[in-house]
Chain A
Amino acid sequence: MTLVQAVNRGLFEAMRQDPDVLVLGEDVGVNGGVFRATEGLFKEFGADRVIDTPLSETGIIGTAIGMALYGLKPVAEIQFLDFIYPAFDQIVSELAKFRYRSGGQYPCHVVIRTPYGGGIKGGLYHSQSTEAYFCHTAGLKVAIPSTPSDAKGLLLTAVHDEDPVLFLEPKRIYRAVTGEVPDGDHRVPFGEVRLVREGTDVSLFAYGAMIPPATEAAETLAKEGISAEVVDLRTLVPLDEKSVLASVEKTGRAVIVHEAARFCGFGGELAAILAEKAFFSLKAPVARVTGYDTPFPYALENVYLPNADKIAHAARTAVRAG
């Protein structure tokens, strides 16, 4: 099963489990979503629970918030993460803060699904990875699957969570990655990394569409006698700090990989955590392999994006450093 099919299965499962779960967004109904993530839902659950909305992200998230306050469990789709900004006010000022600002009177559980990331010839506005904006906001959880099994499992956890969740789907590997997906109510807990590959010389921390190149780099490194551990962070908020630290305490070296721009990216936070809490375990400077601090270029996306070569190079440098 592909990753996008697993998202679809997760939505079916959630909607069959609970009549309060509904889906809303642009083109999610009759059309089944531009990536087909919501395909078939309209036919099974009808216009009442699979709502094609007008083209307004603030309208989608604002109404989803109202539904959640009232007691429903909306799963809103934003067609591309690049288009989420008209709803930024609703997400950052409203959704994230409802529970807190009401003294716990008004929890507000909305799941926002949105495809993110580059490598699909999407240019500036269909390629970005701006998860850091949302990780920076107190009150939001941020989940990013990298396998079909996790796509379904993390999505079901998100739907049953009590807090707002931004669920970022790596569209580059929507169909490029396939795998087994458990039937039924398969849930993957938040705040637990997935150990993709064990290693002893260097830790490669990645998530979403960066897991395949990180794994490829580890395979290359293995042939050179370097044992790289690949850690899939899965949820950036909450972060499984314990496992991150345990990995670096073992390997002594860390390479952080994300396709988001480097400056103030999530890797900066991760590097700071390592500096604060694993400083004496480090044998080499923490390295970051990330998108560059430029807008996302259409014809030069392979220049912009991290790949296995860049990751392997950073890992070799770290190993040679000490």
Chain B
Amino acid sequence: MVESTGPARLAVPDSARPFPKDRLLDAYRLMVLARVTDERCLSLQRQGRIGFYAPHSGQEAAQIGAASALGPNDWVFPAYRELAVALTRGAPLRSIFDQLVGNSADRLKGRQMPNHFGFREQNFVVASSPIGTQITQAVGAAMAAQRRKDPIVTIAFFGDGATSSNDFHAGMNFAGVFQTPTIFFCQNNQWAISLPRERQTRSATLAEKSEAYGFGGLVVDGYDLNAVYGAVAQARERALAGKGPTLIEALVYRFGPHSTSDDPKRYRTDAEVATARQRDPIERLKADLVAAGRIDDASDHRVWEAARAEVAAAFEAAEKTPPVEPRSAFDDVFASLTPRLEEERAEYATLVGPGGTKP
């Protein structure tokens, strides 16, 4: 792994920290599961069965490689495109579909748009929509861990667009000043909705921005599970050793639209997407596994079939789960209901039920 001095260079996979061989097949299954989820959800949204979806296809190796290098007590501060990170942390697929549907089993109680997951047990902090806000929060949690002398790191996931945000600057700056055990993991998927990476910054790389904040940054091939894992594992070791934060730029491509509300044909060509898709991280890992004799076409077929069955079952169960209780809309604004919220809830209650309006 190469730490940048001046413009960051493309790092090569760190042979000292390869992805654990005994977990490779599991990682492959996760990548396939995440991809199948993506494809199914785009279609479910078109059918009106979920309200929205933000696909991550193309970013599976970056997300699963990074999340696999973390410890169970590390804290993840995701953006809203980190479904594969959530799965890697151990979030149940069923819970993910409960959130996408927004049903009564949803951990978020049906309050957030799809993809804004949050899983306390997995230290996967609940995401929001504003760009970059989780970055300073990840640094604050790392400052708290420092104070308590907990041997953990925090990792902020964000995209290329977020490097232009206020909180990227503030978070990187605070992390540098306080030398926090934080990993800044930027998935540079080349497009912030319609804006290409070149229009986000004049910097040659995003990783080199770390230089100005006084710590190291590096660029990795985000399609390469080993490279991503090695980069994050190394950054984590440095953080735990008290050597401060690291910025990692994982080069990927957003194969799909920004979200189901986006039409990427307005700003990029099919040819560009097709070229990017030739570097599919799943195909890449599959080729490695085939070469190593760990998988063949028949067993690969079973991996995909198993993923499709798992996704179908998870969605079906989520869709059948009863809807959110309407009166719960007033809960969790504060630790307990204020008199005003009690009044509003009572007002709502008089409007529904027999003879009243529908909720």
Contacts and interface: CB of A to CB of B under 8 A. Distances in A.
Contacts of A219: none
Contact of B109 (A93, A103, A191): A103
A13 interface: no
B217 interface: no
A63 interface: yes
B133 A93 contact: yes
B53 interface: no
Interface string B171-209: 101100100000000000000000000000000000000
> Which of A49, A56, A86, A105 has the most CB atoms of chain B within a 10 A radius of its CB?
A105
Contacts of A67: 140-141, 143-144
27 contacts: A54-B170, A58-B170, A59-B167, A62-B135, A62-B139, A62-B171, A66-B77, A66-B140, A66-B144, A66-B154, A67-B141, A69-B137, A71-B148, A89-B167, A90-B133, A93-B128, A94-B130, A94-B137, A97-B128, A100-B332, A100-B333, A102-B120, A103-B332, A104-B331, A139-B334, A238-B338, A239-B340
Interface in A42-63: 48-49, 51, 53-54, 56, 58-59, 61-63
Nearest to A107: B335
Given A89-B166, A102-B118, 10 more contacts: A56-B170, A56-B173, A59-B139, A72-B147, A74-B140, A101-B116, A102-B120, A104-B331, A106-B120, A238-B338
A124 interface: no
Contact of A162 (B143, B174, B335): B335
B137 A59 contact: no
Given A99-B332, A103-B108, A65 B137 contact: yes
Contact of B126 (A22, A90, A101): A101
B174 A65 contact: no
A136 to B, nearest CB: 13
Interface residues of A, number: 50
Nearest to B135: A62
A229 interface: no
A242 to B, nearest CB: 8
A23 B305 CA distance: 54
A141 interface: yes
Listed residue (A56, A237, A239) with the most chain B CB atoms within 10 angstroms of its CB? A56
A112 to B, nearest CB: 14
Give the 6 A-B CB pairs with smallest separation, nearest first.
Answer: A66-B140, A62-B136, A63-B140, A59-B170, A70-B144, A162-B335
Contacts of B331: 104
A164 to B, nearest CB: 9
Interface in A232-246: 237-239, 241-242
B41 interface: no
A64 interface: yes
Given A62-B139, A66-B141, A101-B118, A106 B126 contact: yes
A78 to B, nearest CB: 14
B120 A105 contact: yes
A138 interface: yes
Interface in B290-341: 331-335, 338-340
B333 to A, nearest CB: 5
B111 A22 contact: no
B244 to A, nearest CB: 15
Contacts of B145: 70
B167 A58 contact: yes
A86 B166 CA distance: 8
Given A54-B173, A89-B133, A106-B118, A64 B128 contact: no
A98 interface: yes
